[in-house]
Amino acid sequence: MEEFRMPTLGEKFPELEVKTTHGVKKIPDDYKGKWFVLFSHPADFTPVCTTEFIAFQKRKKEFDELNCELIGLSIDQVFSHIKWVEWIKEKTGVEIEFPIIADDMGQVAKRLGMIHPNKGTNTVRAVFIVDDKGVVRLILYYPQEVGRNIDEIIRVVKALQTTDKYQVATPANWPNNDVVNDHVIIPPATSEKEAKERLEKANKGEIECFDWWFCHKKI
Dist. CA 158–CA 165, nearest whole Å? 11
Dist. CA 179–CA 157, nearest whole Å? 22
Which SS3 state, helix, strand or coil, does residue 219 take?
coil
Dist. CA 50–CA 112, nearest whole Å? 22
Active site residue 215: no
HEC sequence for 98-129: CCEEECCCCHHHHHCCCECCCCCCCECEEEEE
101 DSSP β-pair partners: 20, 73
Catalytic residue (one of 49, 68, 209, 215):
49
Rg (CA), the chain: 20
CB-count exposure of residue 79 (10 Å: 0-12, 13-18, 19+): exposed
Residue 102: name the closest of 120, 116, 83 by CA.
Answer: 83
Amino acid at 22: H
Residues tagged active-site: 49
